[in-house]
């Protein structure tokens, strides 16, 4: 359903496809010059790697690639984008000249209309350009049948991309060491006879034991650290909101690491947003290493537990039973520093990084064919770059230039998450503390979204939904909370299937969202 005006000379068009939106009948036709990309490209040559690495040595290269990516995905010279104002800006958020980098798309349907603000916050190892395939959501917000203007903000989270990269202030960074990542205490596992994998990532074992004093010391050490991290990330979002003169964020959309901090933000500043949309948020589930784990008996030195796969039980071991020693070692000693070292690998580093991403990006062409081909899937000129060689290569080069800059979050994320990729302070506990312990009601709606083949624990998302529903019902609070899965999507569902992701976000904003669904839209 496209709501952009399409003006293309009929002599260069072919294969008519008709879409309708409200009472307005519009047409989009593929240009005769369009060529679908069928080849799956998964690597680059050393020559290409050399060119990409050499370009990355320019101090302004990330800014250049960001601008190229924005212009490719939303061509300001195209008549279909006539009502869209594109701004690339940096918002100063404090007296230390800390800036948040932003690409803002404003859709002006009528100057007299009020404006809805939609804010996107990316995950770890990314920056705002990872949402390039979601820029096209703006097409859905343009039309004479709309009663609002829309301002869609894509942000580089604090320490990422072209935003500032400050450290947590010295006076509050009590235990954050930028060279040594503190280890989680050991869990001794007793294997079971009939072990099997649940949802590919979870294995039940007979029992496990912990050293209670070690776990108590760990919890006491990390509680203030996690509070410092929460203050750091959530205050940056709110300072940006305030500096941007936005009274309330209408829709806050966060993915993964950005989803965790968006969820945290909603509870620290509940009056500053109206709707929270979490895309495969990291760290929802409870687990043995949670600093909130209250199952320990302080009268014991060693305590033995029977594990479960229930994601809201502290007896949940998450991925611990399947983690290799190599993975755990790399988590503490290699992964925090690898992004900073990548650029020193020269063209070989570029090759490694492109190989990691290219196959994932080019897969969209298989999805397009599965959904009926570009004739049925594409809805505007802005969709034409999807899956093209230029689009895929430009996205990877953008991400490569973003990651080699190095981020203090390379260290902070290892303080927040365990080697099993779960948060030491579960998001579920943050919501339970707010709703149950503090007895408060949510003043905003919540949507939880996962990929159909997501490695994040979507069952924990479903349990969070139940928690919010039940407490809202008990408090007589009319809050909408929903849960969806995006067809063919993994953890990066918004990249894997931008079509249904964009449609879902549009439906939420326009109040057309379907009830909770196992697979949304297809």
Tens digits of residue pLDDT in 352-396? 999 999 999 999 999 999 999 999 999 999 999 999 999 999 999
The answer to whether residue 21 scores a pLDDT higher than 80 is no
Start-to-end C-alpha separation, the chain: 14
Dihedral, CA of residue 310, residue 311, residue 315 and residue 321, to nearest 10? 100
Q: How confident is the model at residue 170 (pLDDT cuts 50, 70, 90)?
A: low
Q: How confident is the model at residue 3 (pLDDT cuts 50, 70, 90)?
A: very low
Distances, alpha carbon 57 to alpha carbons 60, 61, 423, 440, in Å = 9, 7, 35, 51
Residue 1 domain-assigned (yes or no): no
Number of domains in the chain: 1
pTM of the model: 0.93
Residue 160 domain-assigned (yes or no): yes
**Low-confidence winner among 25-34, 122-131, 480-489 (lowest mean pLDDT):** 25-34
**Which carries the bigger pLDDT value, residue 305 or residue 146?**
305
Residue 197 domain-assigned (yes or no): yes
CATH of the domain at 283: 3.40.50.1820
Residue 447 domain-assigned (yes or no): yes
Question: What is the extent of the structural domain holding 70?
Answer: 10-27+35-520
How many whole angstroms from its chain centre is CA 120?
Answer: 8
The answer to whether residue 25 scores a pLDDT higher than 60 is no
Q: How confident is the model at residue 77 (pLDDT cuts 50, 70, 90)?
A: confident
Q: Is 78 helix (H, G, I), strand (E, B) or coil?
A: coil
Predicted pLDDT at 474: 86
For CA atoms 265, 268, 272, 277, give the dihedral sign: positive
Predicted pLDDT at 358: 97
DSSP labels, 31-44: ETT-----------
Give the 3-state secondary structure of 322-353. Answer: HCCHHHHHHHHHCCCCHHHHHHHHHHHHHHHH
For CA atoms 144, 23, 135, 8, give the dihedral sign: negative
Q: What is the DSSP letter of 511?
A: T
Q: Express each pLDDT in 310-359 by its tens digit.
A: 999 999 999 999 999 999 999 999 999 999 899 999 999 999 999 999 99
Residue 411 domain-assigned (yes or no): yes
Q: Which residues contact 477 (CB under 8 A, 6 or more apart)?
A: 441, 442, 471
Q: What is the CA radius of gyration of the chain?
A: 23
Residue 69 domain-assigned (yes or no): yes
Residue 115 domain-assigned (yes or no): yes
The answer to whether residue 8 scores a pLDDT higher than 50 is no
Contact 59, 38 (CB under 8 A): no
Distances, alpha carbon 69 to alpha carbons 36, 44, 349, in Å = 19, 19, 22
Q: How confident is the model at residue 11 (pLDDT cuts 50, 70, 90)?
A: very low
Residue 363 domain-assigned (yes or no): yes
The average pLDDT across 280-286 equals 98
Q: Express each pLDDT in 192-220 by its tens digit.
A: 867 788 888 999 999 999 999 999 999 99
Q: What percent of the chain has pLDDT over 90?
A: 82
The answer to whether residue 24 scores a pLDDT higher than 90 is no
The average pLDDT across 262-283 equals 98
């Amino acid at each position: 359903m496209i709501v952009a005006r399409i003006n293309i000379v009929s002599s260069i068009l072919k294969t008519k496809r008709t879409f309708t939106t409200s009472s307005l009948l519009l047409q989009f036709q593929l240009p005769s010059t369009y060529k679908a990309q069928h080849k799956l490209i998964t690597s680059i040559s050393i020559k290409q790697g050399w060119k990409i690495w050499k370009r990355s040595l320019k101090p302004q290269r990330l800014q250049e690639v960001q601008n190229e990516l924005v212009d490719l995905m939303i061509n300001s010279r195209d008549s279909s984008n006539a009502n869209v104002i594109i701004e690339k800006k940096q918002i100063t958020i404090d007296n230390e000249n800390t800036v948040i980098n932003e690409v803002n798309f404003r859709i002006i349907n009528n100057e007299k209309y009020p404006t809805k603000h939609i804010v996107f916050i990316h995950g770890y190892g990314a920056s705002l350009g990872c949402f390039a395939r979601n820029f096209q959501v703006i097409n859905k917000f343009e039309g004479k049948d709309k009663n609002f203007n829309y301002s869609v903000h894509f942000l580089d989270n604090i320490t990422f991309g072209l935003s500032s990269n400050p450290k947590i202030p010295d006076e509050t960074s009590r235990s954050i060491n930028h060279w040594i990542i503190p280890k989680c205490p050991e869990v001794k596992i007793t294997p079971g006879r009939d072990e099997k994998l649940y949802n590919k990532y979870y294995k039940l074992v007979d029992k496990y034991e912990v050293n209670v004093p070690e776990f108590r010391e760990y919890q006491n050490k990390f509680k203030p650290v996690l509070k410092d991290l929460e203050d750091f990330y959530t205050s940056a979002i709110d300072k940006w909101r305030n500096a941007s003169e936005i009274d309330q964020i209408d829709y806050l959309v966060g993915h993964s690491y950005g989803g965790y901090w968006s969820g945290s933000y909603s509870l620290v500043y509940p009056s500053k947003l109206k709707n929270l949309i979490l895309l495969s948020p990291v760290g929802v589930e409870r687990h043995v290493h949670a600093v909130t784990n209250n199952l320990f008996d302080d009268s014991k030195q060693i305590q033995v537990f029977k594990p479960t796969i229930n994601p809201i039980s502290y007896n949940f071991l998450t991925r611990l039973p399947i983690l290799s020693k190599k993975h755990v070692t790399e988590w503490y000693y290699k992964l925090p520093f690898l992004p900073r070292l990548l650029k020193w690998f020269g063209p070989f580093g570029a090759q490694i990084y492109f190989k990691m991403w290219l196959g994932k990006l080019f897969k969209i062409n298989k999805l397009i064919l599965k959904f009926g081909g570009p004739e049925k899937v594409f809805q505007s000129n802005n969709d034409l770059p999807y899956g093209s060689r230029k689009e895929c290569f430009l996205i990877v080069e953008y991400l490569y230039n973003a990651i080699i800059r190095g981020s203090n979050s390379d260290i902070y994320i290892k303080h927040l998450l365990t080697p099993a990729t779960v948060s030491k302070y579960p998001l579920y506990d943050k919501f339970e503390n707010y709703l149950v312990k503090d007895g408060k009601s949510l003043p905003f709606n919540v949507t939880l979204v996962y990929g159909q083949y997501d490695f994040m624990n979507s069952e924990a998302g479903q349990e969070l939904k139940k928690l919010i529903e039940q407490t809202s019902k008990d408090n007589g609070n009319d809050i909408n909370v929903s849960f969806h899965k995006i067809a063919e999507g993994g953890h990066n569902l918004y990249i894997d299937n931008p079509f249904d992701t964009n449609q879902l976000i549009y439906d939420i904003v326009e109040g057309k969202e379907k009830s909770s669904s196992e697979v949304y839209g297809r």
